[in-house]
Amino acid sequence: MFMEIKFIKQKIVTVWIWVIILMRACDGVDISCPSECTCRSTINLEEENALRVECTQGDMQSIPVDFLDHKAEIVIISAPPGRPNYLTIGPIFTQPTPFVNLRELHIVNSNVPSIGQYSFWGLQNLRLVNLTHNNLTSIGADNFRGLINLTELYLDFNNIEQMPSETFRHLTALKILSLPHNQISALVPRLFRMLAKLFFLDLSYNPLVDLNPEVFKDIQQLQIFKCRRCLLQRVNTQIYHLVPHLEELDLGENQFKYLTSDEFISLKKLKILKLDGNQLSVVVDNMFGRNRELRVLSLARNRLALLAPASLTNLTSLVHLDISHNKIDRFHLQTFAPVVNSLKTINFSGNNLPLNEISIVLQVLPQIHEVGLANLSLNEIPVNFFTYNEHLVSLDISWNKMLTFPYKLLTKTKFLQHLDISRNRLYTLNEEDLQRLEAIASVNLSKNHWRCDQCSAEAMLVYMTTTVLNMTIRQLKCHSPLRLRGVFFGDLNLDSLELCATTHEAQMSVIAGLMLLCVAILAAVTTALCCSRRRAAHYYTNEEKRREHEHEHPEELLGRTDLGSVATIHAPVHLMTKGS
């Protein structure tokens, strides 16, 4: 009964959908669509019909605006990488009949050299303009006249150098301004005037060298600011006073050498801070004391030798910490005290850290879910390494020197779901290893020293054909023997494999041993012969014999003459080994 009702309901729904489609088809009788484009109706956010036009074949010389339906809400003109368009835009969408419904306009990869005055005049519904990957060199206020409801403007990947004062003054509703990958070298005064609602600004990959604090007076609602690789050596902290609502700050790949302890003192709402790829050599005490809401902190790829004992003070909400690729060789345990209950991911990769330093930190981080241990020259990891990290879900031990799969270690990490052990020196996996691997959802085993002979590869080939590991193993490449180097496991079968390297090697070593023995016997016989001759020659020189005797026991000689100094030489060595 219940099932029947459900069925009928479904029927009604299908019929209704058909009615809508037919209505739309009637509606669309007068839809015109240029031959190089596709035009279709979609449901927009307000659940209304929205006409969407896409011209994405490339090689266009002009926009076929006369053939475009003036009711279009979304227009996408782009080109595949090898076939760019060569387009210009003037007021084509406003005259003679304006595209009054136009909400989104994308003109991408089209070598547009400039926008032209009043191009968007009267397009009151336009919310988003996407002109990424063009050849714009300058923009000005007149380009954007009339875009009173525009909220998003994307100008990434152009050649913009010039932006005069008040360039965006007509865009009073703008919330997102994206300008990465241009040639902007200065922010002129009042550049962002009238952008009071702006909350996202991306200036990354521009040769700015310096940020003019003055321009930030006009964008005090900013919440996300990115200036990655802007050639910055410092930021005038006055800027941070002007944008107290900032939640995300990306200053990665700049040239910061030093940050003061009050650097970020005004950014009390900060949640994400990226300082990776700079030249910081120290994180001083209390540096983030006022950033109590910080959740993500990246300090990767700097020159840090040490985190000061109080460098993470007050970071009780920190979830992700990336300190990979620095020069850290030890920790102060108290550094991590503030984050013990919050930290979920930590990346130690590429430091000079011995495992015992890492293990001490992991012992105080019971909530940890993700650990990065790549590029640490690890040969093995002790079995009890993750004893205190029972929530471990993701582990990266790539780019190390592991010879054997850490089976025993991983039997204790019950919830592990992601394992990257690529670029190590594993040469085989036995059945136990493979069974453990089967229970891990994503595994990367590539770029290891897989040995493709019957002994080493047998279990792997069996698992390749019968289990969930099939795709993972299929894509591995043999490293030895030389004959099979680079061959995919997927192209192997057991019969075509060589005999086991181990038995082969054993045979070889027996032969080699025998040969060595022969050589040794021969050598012994020859030496004996020689010696007896020499002795015969020097039989009468007593002096010679005495000297030989002295050289046999040099320590006796040392002991007799200077015992004290030997003792003092040895003492510090002993202390050092004890201390390390």
Ligand X SMILES: *[C@@H]1O[C@H](CO)[C@@H](O)[C@H](O)[C@H]1NC(C)=O
What does the DSSP 8-state code read for residue 467?
S
For the CB of residue 418, give the shortest distance to ligand X in the complex, in Å: 8
Shorter beta-carbon distance to ligand X: residue 58 or 213: 58
**Distance from C-alpha of 140 to C-alpha of 42, rounded to nearest angstrom:** 34
Shorter beta-carbon distance to ligand X: residue 171 or 187: 171
Closest residue (Cβ) to ligand X? 289
Q: How far is CA 232 from CA 91, 189, 207, 418, in A?
A: 38, 19, 9, 37
Q: What is the per-residue DSSP string for 222-246?
A: --EEE-TTS--S---THHHHH-TT-
Q: What is the per-residue DSSP string for 348-415?
A: -TTS---HHHHHHHHHT-TT--EEE--SS--S---TTTTTT-TT--EEE--SS---S--HHHHHT-TT
Shorter beta-carbon distance to ligand X: residue 119 or 215: 119
For the CB of residue 511, give the shortest distance to ligand X in the complex, in Å: 38
The enclosing H or E element of 519 equals helix 501-538
111 half-sphere exposure, CB direction, 13 A CA radius = 13
Shorter beta-carbon distance to ligand X: residue 364 or 462: 462
Give the phi and the psi of residue 357 in degrees, each rounded to 5: -65, -40
**Distance from C-alpha of 219 to C-alpha of 212, rounded to nearest angstrom:** 13
Burial class (CB in 10 A: 0-12, 13-18, 19+), 417: middle
Shorter beta-carbon distance to ligand X: residue 324 or 413: 324
Shorter beta-carbon distance to ligand X: residue 303 or 504: 303
Shorter beta-carbon distance to ligand X: residue 403 or 455: 403
Helix 454-466 / helix 431-438 crossing angle, nearest 10 deg: 30
Shorter beta-carbon distance to ligand X: residue 41 or 56: 56
For the CB of residue 227, give the shortest distance to ligand X in the complex, in Å: 19
Maximum CA extent, the chain: 126
Computed from CA positions of residues 374, 375, 380, 386, in that sequence, does the dihedral angle turn out positive or negative?
negative
Token pair 């336009």 is at which residue? 126
For the CB of residue 156, give the shortest distance to ligand X in the complex, in Å: 8
Give the phi and the psi of residue 277 in degrees, each rounded to 5: 70, 25
**Distance from C-alpha of 419 to C-alpha of 398, rounded to nearest angstrom:** 9
For the CB of residue 220, give the shortest distance to ligand X in the complex, in Å: 21
For the CB of residue 447, give the shortest distance to ligand X in the complex, in Å: 5
**Distance from C-alpha of 359 to C-alpha of 331, rounded to nearest angstrom:** 11
**Distance from C-alpha of 49 to C-alpha of 24, rounded to nearest angstrom:** 8
Shorter beta-carbon distance to ligand X: residue 56 or 215: 56
Peptide bond preceding 80: is omega within 30 degrees of 0, i.e. cis? Answer: no
Shorter beta-carbon distance to ligand X: residue 56 or 119: 56
Shorter beta-carbon distance to ligand X: residue 54 or 498: 54
Q: Which residues bind ligand X (CB under 6 A)?
A: 76, 78, 106, 108, 111, 113, 124-125, 130, 132, 135, 137, 148-149, 154, 159, 286, 289-290, 292, 300, 313-314, 322, 324, 345, 347, 349-350, 370, 372, 374-375, 394, 396, 398-399, 422-423, 444, 446-447, 466-468, 470-471
Q: Report residue 432 CA to chain centroid gap.
A: 31
For the CB of residue 87, give the shortest distance to ligand X in the complex, in Å: 10
Shorter beta-carbon distance to ligand X: residue 247 or 453: 247
**Distance from C-alpha of 473 to C-alpha of 443, rounded to nearest angstrom:** 10
For the CB of residue 451, give the shortest distance to ligand X in the complex, in Å: 19
For the CB of residue 411, give the shortest distance to ligand X in the complex, in Å: 21
For the CB of residue 252, give the shortest distance to ligand X in the complex, in Å: 10
For the CB of residue 384, give the shortest distance to ligand X in the complex, in Å: 21
For the CB of residue 442, give the shortest distance to ligand X in the complex, in Å: 8
